[in-house]
Amino acid sequence: MALRFHELRVVDIERQTPEAVAIAFDVPDDLRETFAFRPGQYLTLATTIDGEDIRRSYSICSAPGEDRLRVGVKKVADGRFSRFVNDLLSVGDTIRVMPPEGRFTSLIGPRHDYLLVASGSGITPMLSIAKTVLGHEPDSTVTLIYGNRSTETIMFREELDDLKDRYMQRFSLIHLLSREKQDVDLLNGRIDGERVRLLAERGLVDPKGCDGVFLCGPGEMIDDVSTMLKAYGVDGDRIRFERFTPSGEAPKPRAPSVAARQAVEAGATVEVLLDGVRRNFAMGEEDATVLDAAHRAGIELPYSCAGGMCCTCRCRVVEGESELAVNFSLEPWEIEAGFTLACQTRPTSDRLVLDFDAA
């Protein structure tokens, strides 16, 4: 069953920093199961701004079992949605929210040693993962490297300090600040691969010894740290990441290939199977992707980031050929199994059939 939006009421807005808030939703009893989540997952929020339907994904910062479903939203200069949430949204308002999604989650089991690396608002899924792992696995340890500009911009500072007090022996927190001087030189500056390597060499983190490394932040930080970790001997399977663009806007996709352009010129059509219903539409020259063409035909397909990052639009190619403009979220096995992202898919054959109901 494809995901659908639900109207949820905002019950709390807590200012975290001058530029970020945590908002809490009331989840009615009949939607509790629908909004059950795993630590590290995100919600897609949607609203209409200046007549345009805008949606953005925000990671859940609460842990499963906590009273409130909360997400953290940092205001970015050119981010219309984050400005709306920070400046206009009020307690008592309702907003459209899609049920939790995402594969950036930790296993909860007997024992894990995790290294979490977060930059800015990348802390939100990490907070959920840290609280859950520490709270449910009595022998597990979590080390968090958290990068910010200054103390003032650290989101969830109090909650992180509480975690440190509560799990003194099992939770290590390393703050890196890029525009505020700290006593230890190594802690001054942005997170990058070299800094993580130096932290490892000084024995402050142990990437090789941990069960998993979770990275959340801008793409360049993730790429740089992942490359270093792999060169340092960390198995790629143990590195998980969730990337975001600082503006919240989708990154620019690659231009269509010759085959994709020819398919459109030849009148390529797309059939989608969604919630058991089949619908057909044609790709036009103005459509950059299948999602655009569906939109133009008045067909609502599930999506969130529209940038190949979140997987909300994942579907399976059951007939025809296609190409992906960008892919930041599908795993190699999913590509192998025929999955694609509608927000990045372009047909390269005259007919393409996509199944959104495929598991």
Query: Considering the complex, what minimum distance in angstroms separates the CB of residue 42 from ligand FES?
Result: 10
Place of tokens 């993730």: 222
Among 69, 305, 325, 352, binds ligand FES (CB under 6 A): 305
Tokens, residue 287: 């459509």
Query: Considering the complex, what minimum distance in angstroms separates the CB of residue 297 from ligand FES?
Result: 18
Assess 354 for contact with ligand FES (CB under 6 A): no
Place of tokens 């009893």: 29
Complex with ligand FES: residue 223 or 292, whichever CB lies closer: 292
Query: Considering the complex, what minimum distance in angstroms separates the CB of residue 68 from ligand FES?
Result: 26
What are the φ/ψ torsions at residue 312 (nearest 5 degrees)?
-60, -30
Assess 309 for contact with ligand FES (CB under 6 A): yes
Q: For residues 292 and 2, give the distance between their C-alpha atoms in angstroms, rounded to a whole number.
A: 18
Of 9, 229, 166, 220, give the one whose Cα is nearest residue 97.
9
Query: Considering the complex, what minimum distance in angstroms separates the CB of residue 303 from ligand FES?
Result: 4
Complex with ligand FES: residue 189 or 246, whichever CB lies closer: 246
Complex with ligand FES: residue 210 or 310, whichever CB lies closer: 310
Tokens, residue 152: 């003032």
Which residue is at the shortest CB distance from ligand FES?
Answer: 343
Assess 341 for contact with ligand FES (CB under 6 A): yes
Complex with ligand FES: residue 228 or 315, whichever CB lies closer: 315
Assess 274 for contact with ligand FES (CB under 6 A): no
Region of 226 on the Ramachandran plot (φ > 0 left; ψ -120 to 50 alpha; else beta):
alpha
Footprint of ligand FES on 311-330 (CB under 6 A): 311-313, 329
Tokens, residue 322: 């296609």
**Which sign, positive or negative, has the C-alpha torsion 296, 300, 301, 306?**
positive
Q: For residues 27 and 275, give the distance between their C-alpha atoms in angstroms, rounded to a whole number.
A: 24
Among 215, 283, 306, 353, binds ligand FES (CB under 6 A): 306
Say if residue 66 is exposed, middle or buried (CB neighbours under 10 Å; 0-12, 13-18, 19+): middle
The interface region with ligand FES, picked from 27-35, 65-73, 92-100, 303-311 by CB under 6 A, is 303-311
Q: For residues 3 and 96, give the distance between their C-alpha atoms in angstroms, rounded to a whole number.
A: 12
Q: For residues 14 and 71, give the distance between their C-alpha atoms in angstroms, rounded to a whole number.
A: 10
Among 119, 304, 345, 348, binds ligand FES (CB under 6 A): 304
User: H-helix or E-strand containing 136?
Assistant: helix 123-136
Query: Considering the complex, what minimum distance in angstroms separates the CB of residue 53 from ligand FES?
Result: 13
Assess 301 for contact with ligand FES (CB under 6 A): no
Footprint of ligand FES on 55-84 (CB under 6 A): none
Query: Considering the complex, what minimum distance in angstroms separates the CB of residue 167 from ligand FES?
Result: 34
Contact 307, 297 (CB under 8 A): no
For the chain, the distance separating the N- and C-terminal CA atoms, rounded to the nearest angstrom, is 9
User: How many residues are recorded in the chain?
Assistant: 359
Query: Considering the complex, what minimum distance in angstroms separates the CB of residue 272 from ligand FES?
Result: 14
Among 343, 352, 353, 354, binds ligand FES (CB under 6 A): 343
The interface region with ligand FES, picked from 35-43, 99-107, 272-280, 304-312 by CB under 6 A, is 304-312
Contact 214, 104 (CB under 8 A): yes
The interface region with ligand FES, picked from 35-43, 73-81, 113-121, 307-315 by CB under 6 A, is 307-315
Binding residues for ligand FES, rule: CB under 6 A, are: 303-306, 308-313, 329, 341, 343
